Amino acid sequence: MYQSFKITNFRCFHELNVTDLERVNLIAGVNNAGKTTLLEALFIHCGAYNPQLTLGLNAFRGIGSVTVEIGRMTETPWDSIFSEFDSSKEIKLEGNDKETGVRVLRLDIVSQTDEIAEIGSLIPDSQDMTGEIPSSLEFPRVLKLTNEENGQNSYYMILDQRGIRVHPIPPPPPFPTIWISSWNRTPMKEDAERFGKLELKDQLDVLTNALKIIEPRLRRLSVIVVGDTPIIYGTMDGLKRPVPLPFMGEGIARLTSIVLAIGNSSNGVVLVDEIENGFHHSVLHKVWQVLGEAARRFNTQVFATTHSIECIIAAHRAFMESETYDFRLHRLERMGETIQDITYPQEVLEAAIEMGLEVR
């Protein structure tokens, strides 16, 4: 589990140092303070070795794929991850994790022609018959990811007229990580696959009990394949047949995705953008209770963003009632040209809530 995380030259952050991290971390702040950006930086760092993860960040925000036109492209799909779009500045992501220790990731644009040629020569389909990069190629553009862990290991994402490739093939990440977006549902197939993995571990009770918070009539869950799509169904008192969970409302679908993500990320990380979406304020307290229990049960670290004071208060109260207060509120606040992390330990947050201070 992360104990601290530092970001340099990534999107809106020139430098951000987040400390005092807990098992469950709720990130607040005004619009454009960098809440989602912090999750994105964590996502890349959790992936550890794969520079292609940077291409998924825009999709998390609802931005489609970038069209590349050879000979006329002025920007690459990854230019936007650099602070102020200045790709001459190195991105540095440094995490201190209890299991893996201090791990540093660096992201750079390769601009030297000889280095680009050397990288291209290592990849067979980047070569013509002479073993050189084709003269008709106005670029490639190359993003270099360096992982400083047991020495330095570099991985390259190469963009040329053949598309985007990564070399060498990166190893699996050090631990599982799942992102849950704020603006769209997790695909039903993904939820069904995670449901199956949880069922194989005989741990579906964590999901069933969680969903009963919103729908007390729920008795049983199952996966039914409709056409070629597996869908989670719920059997409820008073109904003659099972009902697809998405038909039960946004809150049920949202809670299902979050609990399944936690259950499938043992010893890993779950990132949830705008966690309160889909939940009525009256159930938030119980939602946080089950999420805290699930995070402890599977040893999963959770990072979530919110704009809601009801969400913050509900989380604080829920963790106060648990045996362990393994929760921390972080508020990102602009101080001139910089953004700082303000943390709220249990006693400080309790006092701020009682005094009606702004902590969102």
Residue spans per domain, the chain:
2-21+30-167, 179-322+343-355
Is residue 333 scored above 90 in pLDDT? yes
Q: Do 181 and 190 form a contact (C-beta atoms < 8 A)?
A: no
Candidates 212, 214, 222; CA nearest to 243 is: 222
Whole-model pTM over 0.75: yes
CA end-to-end distance (rounded Å), the chain: 25
Produce one character per residue of 63-84: b if its CB has 16 or more CB atoms within 10 Å, e if not: eeeeebeeeeeeebbbebbbbe
Chain segment 201-236, per-residue pLDDT in tens: 999 999 999 999 999 999 999 999 988 899 999 999
- What is the rounded average pLDDT of the residues 114-126? 64
Q: Do 318 and 351 form a contact (C-beta atoms < 8 A)?
A: no
Instruction: Answer with the residue of higher pLDDT: 356 or 269.
Output: 269
Is residue 66 scored above 60 in pLDDT? no
Structure tokens, 241: 């047949």
Give me the residues paired with residue 10 across strands. 13, 82
Chain segment 10-37, per-residue pLDDT in tens: 999 999 999 999 999 999 999 889 999 9
Q: Do 300 and 269 form a contact (C-beta atoms < 8 A)?
A: yes
Q: What is the pLDDT of residue 332?
A: 96
A 10 A CB-CB count for 293 gives 17
Q: Which region, left, alpha or beta, applies to residue 294 given φ > 0 means left and ψ of -120 to 50 means alpha?
A: alpha
Say yes or no: domain 179-322+343-355 is CATH 3.40.50.300.
yes
